[in-house]
Protein backbone atom coordinates (compact mmCIF):
# COMPACT_ATOMS: atom_id res chain seq x y z
CA UNK A 1 0.00 0.00 0.00
CA UNK A 2 3.05 2.24 0.09
CA UNK A 3 3.98 1.74 -3.60
CA UNK A 4 4.67 4.80 -5.73
CA UNK A 5 1.87 6.29 -7.80
CA UNK A 6 2.86 6.75 -11.47
CA UNK A 7 1.37 9.13 -14.02
CA UNK A 8 2.31 8.96 -17.74
CA UNK A 9 2.63 12.25 -19.59
CA UNK A 10 0.22 12.20 -22.54
CA UNK A 11 -0.17 14.64 -25.43
CA UNK A 12 -2.69 16.67 -23.42
CA UNK A 13 0.05 17.58 -20.93
CA UNK A 14 2.92 18.29 -23.33
CA UNK A 15 5.02 21.17 -22.01
CA UNK A 16 3.11 21.50 -18.73
CA UNK A 17 5.06 22.40 -15.61
CA UNK A 18 5.70 19.50 -13.27
CA UNK A 19 3.95 21.13 -10.30
CA UNK A 20 0.83 21.93 -12.32
CA UNK A 21 0.80 18.41 -13.79
CA UNK A 22 0.83 16.87 -10.30
CA UNK A 23 -1.99 19.13 -9.18
CA UNK A 24 -4.01 17.87 -12.15
CA UNK A 25 -3.21 14.22 -11.39
CA UNK A 26 -3.84 14.49 -7.64
CA UNK A 27 -6.28 17.41 -7.43
CA UNK A 28 -6.80 17.10 -3.67
CA UNK A 29 -3.12 17.73 -2.92
CA UNK A 30 -2.44 21.25 -1.74
CA UNK A 31 0.11 23.40 -3.54
CA UNK A 32 2.43 23.18 -0.53
CA UNK A 33 2.14 19.37 -0.51
CA UNK A 34 2.99 19.22 -4.22
CA UNK A 35 6.08 21.38 -3.70
CA UNK A 36 7.20 19.24 -0.76
CA UNK A 37 6.68 16.05 -2.76
CA UNK A 38 8.72 17.38 -5.69
CA UNK A 39 11.57 18.21 -3.35
CA UNK A 40 11.69 14.81 -1.66
CA UNK A 41 9.93 11.97 -3.48
CA UNK A 42 9.04 12.75 -7.10
CA UNK A 43 11.06 11.13 -9.89
CA UNK A 44 10.85 11.17 -13.69
CA UNK A 45 11.40 8.00 -15.71
CA UNK A 46 13.52 9.99 -18.18
CA UNK A 47 16.03 10.74 -15.45
CA UNK A 48 15.47 14.49 -15.67
CA UNK A 49 15.72 16.36 -12.38
CA UNK A 50 12.41 16.88 -10.62
CA UNK A 51 11.85 20.62 -10.38
CA UNK A 52 8.56 22.47 -10.06
CA UNK A 53 9.25 24.43 -13.26
CA UNK A 54 10.30 21.37 -15.28
CA UNK A 55 8.43 21.27 -18.61
CA UNK A 56 7.22 17.74 -19.28
CA UNK A 57 7.64 15.80 -22.50
CA UNK A 58 5.22 13.25 -23.91
CA UNK A 59 6.13 9.68 -22.98
CA UNK A 60 7.80 10.52 -19.67
CA UNK A 61 6.35 9.05 -16.48
CA UNK A 62 6.10 10.99 -13.22
CA UNK A 63 6.21 8.89 -10.04
CA UNK A 64 5.42 9.93 -6.47
CA UNK A 65 7.01 7.72 -3.84
CA UNK A 66 5.67 7.41 -0.29
CA UNK A 67 6.88 9.94 2.25
CA UNK A 68 8.69 8.87 5.37
CA UNK A 69 5.53 9.61 7.34
CA UNK A 70 3.47 7.46 5.00
CA UNK A 71 5.92 4.59 5.26
CA UNK A 72 5.72 4.83 9.03
CA UNK A 73 1.92 4.93 8.82
CA UNK A 74 1.47 1.16 8.77
CA UNK A 75 -2.30 1.27 8.38
CA UNK A 76 -4.37 -1.14 6.32
CA UNK A 77 -6.82 0.59 3.96
CA UNK A 78 -9.06 -2.24 2.69
CA UNK A 79 -10.60 -1.97 -0.78
CA UNK A 80 -14.36 -2.52 -0.71
CA UNK A 81 -15.06 -2.21 -4.45
CA UNK A 82 -12.84 -1.61 -7.50
CA UNK A 83 -14.35 -0.17 -10.68
CA UNK A 84 -11.19 0.36 -12.70
CA UNK A 85 -11.17 4.15 -12.90
CA UNK A 86 -12.38 4.39 -9.31
CA UNK A 87 -12.32 2.44 -6.08
CA UNK A 88 -14.08 2.57 -2.73
CA UNK A 89 -11.98 1.91 0.36
CA UNK A 90 -12.84 1.42 4.03
CA UNK A 91 -10.99 4.39 5.53
CA UNK A 92 -9.74 3.72 9.05
CA UNK A 93 -10.24 6.35 11.75
CA UNK A 94 -7.20 8.54 12.37
CA UNK A 95 -6.05 8.62 8.74
CA UNK A 96 -6.80 11.86 6.88
CA UNK A 97 -8.14 11.87 3.33
CA UNK A 98 -5.72 14.42 1.89
CA UNK A 99 -2.24 15.75 2.70
CA UNK A 100 -1.61 18.32 5.39
CA UNK A 101 1.50 20.02 6.74
CA UNK A 102 0.65 18.79 10.24
CA UNK A 103 0.85 15.10 9.24
CA UNK A 104 2.74 14.93 5.92
CA UNK A 105 2.21 11.63 4.14
CA UNK A 106 -0.23 10.20 6.68
CA UNK A 107 -3.29 10.39 4.43
CA UNK A 108 -5.21 8.17 2.04
CA UNK A 109 -4.26 10.15 -1.10
CA UNK A 110 -0.55 9.73 -0.37
CA UNK A 111 -0.69 6.16 0.91
CA UNK A 112 -2.76 4.87 -2.02
CA UNK A 113 -1.72 7.35 -4.70
CA UNK A 114 -5.28 8.21 -5.76
CA UNK A 115 -7.43 11.30 -5.32
CA UNK A 116 -10.46 11.18 -2.99
CA UNK A 117 -13.66 12.25 -4.77
CA UNK A 118 -15.05 13.58 -1.47
CA UNK A 119 -13.91 13.89 2.12
CA UNK A 120 -14.40 12.19 5.41
CA UNK A 121 -13.19 13.79 8.61
CA UNK A 122 -9.89 12.37 9.84
CA UNK A 123 -11.54 10.39 12.66
CA UNK A 124 -14.58 9.27 10.65
CA UNK A 125 -14.32 5.75 9.25
CA UNK A 126 -15.94 3.96 6.32
CA UNK A 127 -16.69 4.29 2.61
CA UNK A 128 -14.38 6.67 0.77
CA UNK A 129 -14.54 6.99 -3.03
CA UNK A 130 -11.31 7.66 -4.92
CA UNK A 131 -10.57 8.39 -8.58
CA UNK A 132 -7.62 6.95 -10.50
CA UNK A 133 -7.59 9.47 -13.36
CA UNK A 134 -8.66 13.07 -14.00
CA UNK A 135 -11.61 12.15 -16.26
CA UNK A 136 -13.11 9.91 -13.58
CA UNK A 137 -12.47 12.58 -10.95
CA UNK A 138 -14.40 15.13 -13.03
CA UNK A 139 -17.30 12.71 -13.59
CA UNK A 140 -17.55 11.92 -9.88
CA UNK A 141 -17.41 15.63 -9.02
CA UNK A 142 -20.40 16.15 -11.33
CA UNK A 143 -22.26 13.29 -9.64
CA UNK A 144 -21.78 14.89 -6.23
CA UNK A 145 -22.75 18.30 -7.59
CA UNK A 146 -25.91 16.86 -9.20
CA UNK A 147 -26.90 15.09 -5.93
CA UNK A 148 -26.58 11.69 -7.63
CA UNK A 149 -24.59 10.26 -4.71
CA UNK A 150 -26.26 8.76 -1.63
CA UNK A 151 -24.48 8.43 1.71
CA UNK A 152 -25.61 6.68 4.89
CA UNK A 153 -23.70 7.06 8.15
CA UNK A 154 -23.94 5.30 11.50
CA UNK A 155 -23.33 7.26 14.68
CA UNK A 156 -23.31 6.39 18.37
CA UNK A 157 -24.54 9.45 20.26
CA UNK A 158 -24.98 10.65 23.79
CA UNK A 159 -28.52 10.48 25.15
CA UNK A 160 -31.73 8.96 23.81
CA UNK A 161 -33.87 10.86 21.26
CA UNK A 162 -37.58 10.93 22.00
CA UNK A 163 -38.73 10.08 18.47
CA UNK A 164 -37.87 7.03 16.32
CA UNK A 165 -36.74 9.41 13.59
CA UNK A 166 -36.18 13.15 13.25
CA UNK A 167 -34.76 15.69 10.84
CA UNK A 168 -32.51 18.63 11.57
CA UNK A 169 -32.95 21.44 9.04
CA UNK A 170 -30.65 24.19 10.29
CA UNK A 171 -28.16 26.39 8.38
CA UNK A 172 -24.47 25.95 9.15
CA UNK A 173 -21.75 28.57 9.09
CA UNK A 174 -18.51 29.52 10.78
CA UNK A 175 -18.69 29.31 14.57
CA UNK A 176 -17.76 32.87 15.47
CA UNK A 177 -17.47 31.98 19.16
CA UNK A 178 -14.92 29.22 18.61
CA UNK A 179 -11.14 29.39 18.81
CA UNK A 180 -10.88 26.48 16.33
CA UNK A 181 -10.48 27.34 12.65
CA UNK A 182 -13.02 25.50 10.55
CA UNK A 183 -15.49 24.73 13.30
CA UNK A 184 -19.10 25.28 12.26
CA UNK A 185 -22.32 25.98 14.12
CA UNK A 186 -25.99 26.56 13.44
CA UNK A 187 -26.34 30.21 12.49
CA UNK A 188 -29.00 32.23 10.72
CA UNK A 189 -26.47 33.42 8.13
CA UNK A 190 -25.17 29.95 7.38
CA UNK A 191 -25.66 27.80 4.29
CA UNK A 192 -28.78 25.58 4.13
CA UNK A 193 -28.15 22.16 5.72
CA UNK A 194 -30.47 19.24 6.44
CA UNK A 195 -29.87 15.78 7.89
CA UNK A 196 -32.33 12.92 8.44
CA UNK A 197 -31.77 10.68 11.48
CA UNK A 198 -33.28 7.30 12.37
CA UNK A 199 -32.94 5.50 15.70
CA UNK A 200 -31.60 1.97 15.18
CA UNK A 201 -30.81 0.85 18.72
CA UNK A 202 -30.70 2.14 22.30
CA UNK A 203 -28.41 1.05 25.08
CA UNK A 204 -28.45 2.87 28.40
CA UNK A 205 -27.80 6.55 27.79
CA UNK A 206 -26.44 6.03 24.26
CA UNK A 207 -28.17 5.57 20.92
CA UNK A 208 -27.17 4.15 17.55
CA UNK A 209 -28.46 6.35 14.73
CA UNK A 210 -28.52 6.18 10.95
CA UNK A 211 -27.77 9.60 9.44
CA UNK A 212 -28.59 10.61 5.87
CA UNK A 213 -27.28 14.07 4.95
CA UNK A 214 -29.50 15.90 2.45
CA UNK A 215 -26.75 18.46 1.87
CA UNK A 216 -22.96 18.23 2.05
CA UNK A 217 -21.75 20.87 4.49
CA UNK A 218 -18.52 20.61 6.46
CA UNK A 219 -18.98 18.67 9.73
CA UNK A 220 -22.73 18.64 9.03
CA UNK A 221 -23.72 15.49 10.91
CA UNK A 222 -21.51 16.27 13.89
CA UNK A 223 -22.70 19.87 14.20
CA UNK A 224 -26.38 19.00 13.74
CA UNK A 225 -26.27 16.28 16.41
CA UNK A 226 -24.50 18.59 18.85
CA UNK A 227 -27.10 21.26 18.11
CA UNK A 228 -29.97 18.98 19.20
CA UNK A 229 -28.15 17.77 22.30
CA UNK A 230 -26.96 14.38 21.05
CA UNK A 231 -23.25 14.84 20.37
CA UNK A 232 -21.40 11.88 18.89
CA UNK A 233 -19.54 9.78 21.44
CA UNK A 234 -15.86 10.71 21.41
CA UNK A 235 -16.30 14.01 19.52
CA UNK A 236 -13.85 16.35 21.22
CA UNK A 237 -14.69 19.30 18.94
CA UNK A 238 -18.49 19.29 19.07
CA UNK A 239 -19.07 17.24 22.20
CA UNK A 240 -18.46 19.74 24.95
CA UNK A 241 -15.35 21.71 25.88
CA UNK A 242 -13.41 22.38 22.65
CA UNK A 243 -10.25 22.93 24.71
CA UNK A 244 -9.90 19.13 24.63
CA UNK A 245 -9.66 19.34 20.83
CA UNK A 246 -7.01 22.05 21.10
CA UNK A 247 -4.99 19.92 23.53
CA UNK A 248 -5.27 16.98 21.11
CA UNK A 249 -3.98 19.12 18.23
CA UNK A 250 -1.00 20.11 20.39
CA UNK A 251 -0.21 16.48 21.11
CA UNK A 252 -1.25 16.71 24.74
CA UNK A 253 -3.09 13.84 26.48
CA UNK A 254 -6.87 13.97 26.83
CA UNK A 255 -9.46 11.75 28.47
CA UNK A 256 -11.34 9.53 26.02
CA UNK A 257 -14.15 6.95 26.32
CA UNK A 258 -12.88 3.40 26.94
CA UNK A 259 -11.81 1.62 23.76
CA UNK A 260 -11.43 4.75 21.61
CA UNK A 261 -8.25 6.29 20.28
CA UNK A 262 -7.88 9.99 21.19
CA UNK A 263 -9.93 12.07 18.76
CA UNK A 264 -12.00 9.17 17.44
CA UNK A 265 -15.68 10.01 17.24
CA UNK A 266 -18.08 7.14 16.58
CA UNK A 267 -19.19 8.19 13.10
CA UNK A 268 -18.97 5.65 10.27
CA UNK A 269 -19.74 6.05 6.55
CA UNK A 270 -21.63 2.77 6.22
CA UNK A 271 -23.09 3.01 2.71
CA UNK A 272 -22.23 4.83 -0.51
CA UNK A 273 -24.25 4.68 -3.75
CA UNK A 274 -23.29 6.46 -6.99
CA UNK A 275 -23.39 6.13 -10.80
CA UNK A 276 -20.33 4.39 -12.30
CA UNK A 277 -18.68 7.02 -14.57
CA UNK A 278 -17.71 4.31 -17.04
CA UNK A 279 -20.96 2.36 -17.38
CA UNK A 280 -23.65 4.55 -15.85
CA UNK A 281 -24.86 1.65 -13.71
CA UNK A 282 -25.74 2.27 -10.08
CA UNK A 283 -23.09 1.07 -7.62
CA UNK A 284 -23.84 0.49 -3.93
CA UNK A 285 -21.06 -0.23 -1.45
CA UNK A 286 -21.28 -1.08 2.26
CA UNK A 287 -18.50 -0.82 4.87
CA UNK A 288 -18.62 -3.22 7.84
CA UNK A 289 -19.23 -1.84 11.30
CA UNK A 290 -15.86 -1.02 12.93
CA UNK A 291 -14.73 -2.91 16.01
CA UNK A 292 -14.66 0.23 18.16
CA UNK A 293 -18.45 0.59 17.81
CA UNK A 294 -18.56 -2.13 20.48
CA UNK A 295 -21.30 -4.70 20.64
CA UNK A 296 -23.99 -2.70 18.87
CA UNK A 297 -26.29 -4.92 16.82
CA UNK A 298 -26.27 -4.73 13.07
CA UNK A 299 -28.60 -1.97 11.78
CA UNK A 300 -32.20 -3.17 11.93
CA UNK A 301 -34.89 -3.30 14.55
CA UNK A 302 -34.70 -0.94 17.50
CA UNK A 303 -33.76 -2.72 20.71
Hey, which residues are catalytic here?
121
Check the CA dihedral 295-296-301-302 and report its sign.
positive
Q: Is 149 left (phi over 0), alpha (psi -120 to 50) or beta?
A: beta
Q: What three-state secondary structure class fits 295?
A: coil
**Number of residues that this document lists for the chain:** 303
Which among 299, 287, 138, 148 is positioned nearest to 216, based on CA atoms?
148
C-alpha to C-alpha distances, 218 to 116, 118, 215, 237, 264, nearest whole angstrom? 16, 11, 10, 13, 17
- Would the CA dihedral through 273, 275, 277, 281 be positive or negative? positive
Q: Please state, in angstroms and rounded to a whole number, the distance separating the CA atoms of residues 195 and 208.
A: 15
Cα–Cα distance, 20 to 125 (Å, whole number): 31
User: Contact at 8 Å (CB) between 151 and 195?
Assistant: no
Nearest of 73, 47, 80 to residue 62 by alpha carbon: 47
The Cα–Cα gap between 149 and 268 comes to 17
Amino acid sequence: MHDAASFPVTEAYRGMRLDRFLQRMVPRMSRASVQAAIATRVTLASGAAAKASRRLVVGDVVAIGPSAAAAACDVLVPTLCDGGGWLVVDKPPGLACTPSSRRPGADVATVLGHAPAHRLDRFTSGCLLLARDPATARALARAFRDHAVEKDYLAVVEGVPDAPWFEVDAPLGVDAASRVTGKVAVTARGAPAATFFEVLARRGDRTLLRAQPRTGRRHQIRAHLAHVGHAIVGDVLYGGDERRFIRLQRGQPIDVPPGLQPGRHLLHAARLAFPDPGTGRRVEVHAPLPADFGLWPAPGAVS
